[in-house]
Amino acid sequence: MPARTGAAENKPAAPASKPLLPTGKIGNLQFTRLILGGNLLTRYNHARDLGYVNKLVRSYNTDAKVRETVELAEANGINTLSVNVTPAVCKTLNDHRKNGGKMQWILYSTHNIEDIAGYDAQIRQMVDDGSEAIYIWGVHCDKYLADGKFSVIAKTLERIKLHNVPCGIGAHDLAVVQQCEKDKLPADFYIKTLHHHRYPTAPRTGEAARNTSEVPGYWCRNPEETVAFMKTVEKPWIAFKVMAAGAIPPKNAFPYAFSSGGDFVLAGMFDFDVAEDCEIARTAVAQAQGRARPWRA
């Protein structure tokens, strides 16, 4: 499908040409177990020490290409995406819906969470635009737990839930989920990183001292501990960074995430990844039916 520009961007979204992927339920919503990730849609990526990759991604993922990627995801059976609410991507999403797109949104904001008026204005905009669910950015949750100010997250969760949309908690640090469970916070779901360390650029023993790192590249510091704890968690779990930002092929990453307990996989994709990733996800879900953690969604 060629990239479109100008008036062609208003072309109606392509109708679904493949069956819907397997789904799970959060609240009253049915989300496909493979969710289109948002970093690449906002032209953000983890390039480790390869600086040129940032320019490459920004050059390739034009507004038209982002719109095309969303359409391809829908046509291949994905019904949900998750993304940061940048002005450009919000325009793309709204245009997609206005022209017949049915993609559901799980949105989040990177705005200063202590600027209550500004942050709440973004939440209101998400709700008004029709976001099916919202979650609190993992970077915020990690930071405020580490700073001993997790009450900021708890109060933000309360305010978001006043809008009657499912609200989740994001995290790279497993301690965030553990604290939420300890405090019995009324989050509707978790978005927590999960990937193994069996790839060439993974941290060696003793190197994973922080929650995340670009070099060595990792975003789940303690996968075995994460898998073990999440077995005790009854809320739906959206696993993200399952490919360790591109270091682990989907054929390896998706089965690991689903068999380890993830109810959903959130995966960033270029347009040329979508069709293959959807087929891999179908197979991975089917093969994970006997997993140790019950499906929580």
Residue 275 and residue 92: Cα distance in Å, rounded? 21
Which CA distances in Å does 287 have to 29, 32, 96, 254? 24, 16, 33, 11
pLDDT of residue 251: 98
Residue 12 has pLDDT above 80, yes or no: no
Residues 211 and 217 sit within 8 Å (Cβ to Cβ): no
Which of 32-41, 174-183, 278-287 is least confident? 32-41
Residues 128 and 90 sit within 8 Å (Cβ to Cβ): no
Confidence of residue 4 (pLDDT cuts 50, 70, 90): very low
SS3 for 171-230 is ECCHHHHHHHHHHCCCCCEEEEECCCCCCCCCCCCCCCCCCCECCCCECCCCHHHHHHHH
In the three-class reduction of DSSP (H, G, I as helix; E, B as strand; rest coil), residue 244 is classed as: coil
pLDDT in tens, 247-272: 999 999 999 999 999 999 999 999 99
Residue 295 has pLDDT above 70, yes or no: yes
Residue 13 has pLDDT above 60, yes or no: no
What average pLDDT does this structure show over 3-31? 71
Identify the structural domains of the chain with CATH numbers, from first to last: 19-287 (3.20.20.100)
Residue 40 or 113, more confident: 113
Strand partners, 105: 81
Residue 72 has pLDDT above 80, yes or no: yes
Residue 106 has pLDDT above 70, yes or no: yes
What average pLDDT does this structure show over 132-139? 98
pLDDT in tens, 140-179: 999 999 999 999 999 999 999 999 999 999 999 999 999 9
HSE, side-chain direction, 13 A CA sphere, residue 84: 16
Residue 13 and residue 17: Cα distance in Å, rounded? 12
The alpha helices in the chain, defined as continuous H runs, are 52-60, 63-75, 87-98, 116-129, 138-146, 151-161, 174-183, 223-230, 250-259, 274-287
Residue 106 or 61, more confident: 106
Residue 93 has pLDDT above 50, yes or no: yes
Residue 183 has pLDDT above 60, yes or no: yes
pLDDT of residue 48: 81
pLDDT of residue 40: 86
Q: What is the mean pLDDT of the chain?
A: 93
